[in-house]
Amino acid sequence: MRITVIGCGRWGSFIAWLLDRIGHTVTLYGRSTSMHMQRFLAERKNDLLYLPPRVALSTSLACMEDAEAVILSVGAQSLRALMEEIAPLAPKRKIFVLCMKGLEAPDGKRLSVVASEYLDASNPIAVWVGPGHVEEFTRGIPNCMVIDSESEEVKHHLADAFSGGMIRFYYGQDMIGSEIGAASKNVVGIAAGFLDGLGLSSLKGALMSRGTHEIAGLIGALGGNPMSAYGLCHLGDYEATVFSAYSHNRRFGELFVQGRPYGELAEGYATARAIVNLADRCGAELPICRGVYEILYEGADAERTLNALFTRKMKNEF
């Protein structure tokens, strides 16, 4: 396939690197002002990988003109601004793949819905979600991920085309569940970081079981399949989010409760606000996500809030 990857951060550059390795014709786009792109243009590498000369580099969105698939890998809160730049190019009959995990803040709109507002109906939309860290993939450590789309043909085509020795792709069955599950696992990751920072890591088992249960309820309230929360988009991504040293959201939460700054993007910060607003509209109960929101945005005491979460009276486990 002819593929343009938009976004030259660690995920976007990894995707370009991976798809080139399995035989696709790849162009990587980044803004001319991006430090990541400036380094790729000068050295064709970052701290994790090297892009061979056959991977084209571009600072113009016009590079997507001949692409069959356009993969978007930018911060979730930057998607709308990017789509506003793409819309005047009026792309037709291209598959747009969202490789990002988040909800638009403050309202909690799913990212596929945001993208669809700017695209002609001839452009199908897919999402690429699930566990994995670039730091591990580039060392040859494999994982499983998910491709989902409202189009059965599109998701099968992409999963088959993108699969290789590094990643085994599964076909998603629920766009609502895939997107909500992937976004909300970052909020749970921040909660895991809170526990680490407070010396309460033993509570991660309870966090995982109860977190999955509450997200299943949210997915169901939104019209998705609650079982999606138990798949790779959410529960299956906990190992990479709740425990990994590479997890930005877990590390952000750990440093936050210790009063220390964190300079990397943690998507769960904005998602916590978005998901609480979304839950309020659909009537879903999200005690863990709401607790994270109160700690991050309302100055709630982290230790007291977490203790209340795990000691609150419950008649049954589920």
Enumerate the active-site residues: 185
Contact 212, 206 (CB under 8 A): no
Domain count, the chain: 2
Query: What residue type is 31 in one-letter code?
Result: R
Residues 85 and 195 in one domain: no
Question: Is position 223 within any domain?
Answer: yes
How confident is the model over 69-127, as pLDDT tens digits?
999 999 999 999 999 999 999 999 999 999 999 999 999 999 999 999 999 999 999 99
Question: Is position 178 within any domain?
Answer: no
pLDDT above 60: residue 274: yes
pLDDT of residue 310: 84
pLDDT of residue 316: 53
How far apart CA 5 and CA 135 sit, in angstroms, is: 19
How confident is the model over 275-293, as pLDDT tens digits?
999 999 999 999 999 999 9
Listed in order, strand segments (DSSP E) in 124-261 are 125-129, 143-149, 167-171
Residues 113 and 192 in one domain: no
Question: Is position 28 within any domain?
Answer: yes
Residues 16 and 144 in one domain: yes
pLDDT of residue 164: 81
pLDDT of residue 313: 55
pLDDT above 80: residue 266: yes
pLDDT above 80: residue 315: no
pLDDT above 70: residue 300: yes
pLDDT above 90: residue 318: no
pLDDT of residue 130: 95
User: What's the CATH number where 251 sits?
Assistant: 1.10.1040.10
How confident is the model over 144-183, as pLDDT tens digits?
999 999 999 999 999 999 998 789 999 999 999 999 999 9
pLDDT band at 263 (very low <50, low <70, confident <90, very high): confident
Domain that holds residue 91: 2-171
What is the mean predicted confidence (pLDDT) over 206-223? 96
Closest among 90, 147, 146 to 123, alpha carbons compared: 90
Residues 217 and 143 in one domain: no
- Mean pLDDT, the chain, as a whole number? 95
pLDDT above 70: residue 214: yes
pLDDT above 80: residue 57: yes
pLDDT of residue 103: 97
pLDDT above 80: residue 301: yes
Q: Which residues pair with 143 in a beta bridge?
A: 167
How confident is the model over 1-38, as pLDDT tens digits?
999 999 999 999 999 999 999 999 999 999 999 999 99
Residues 164 and 196 in one domain: no
Residues 46 and 157 in one domain: yes
Residues 55 and 147 in one domain: yes
Residues 294 and 219 in one domain: yes
Listed in order, strand segments (DSSP E) in the chain are 2-6, 25-29, 56-58, 69-72, 95-98, 103-104, 109-110, 125-129, 143-149, 167-171
pLDDT above 90: residue 314: no
Handedness of CA 97, 219, 197, 144 (dihedral sign): negative
Question: Is position 316 within any domain?
Answer: no
Residues 163 and 190 in one domain: no
Whose tokens are 């990857």? That residue is: 5
pLDDT of residue 312: 60
Residues 16 and 155 in one domain: yes
pLDDT of residue 265: 83
Asked which of 171, 202, 227 is the last residue of a domain, the reply is 171
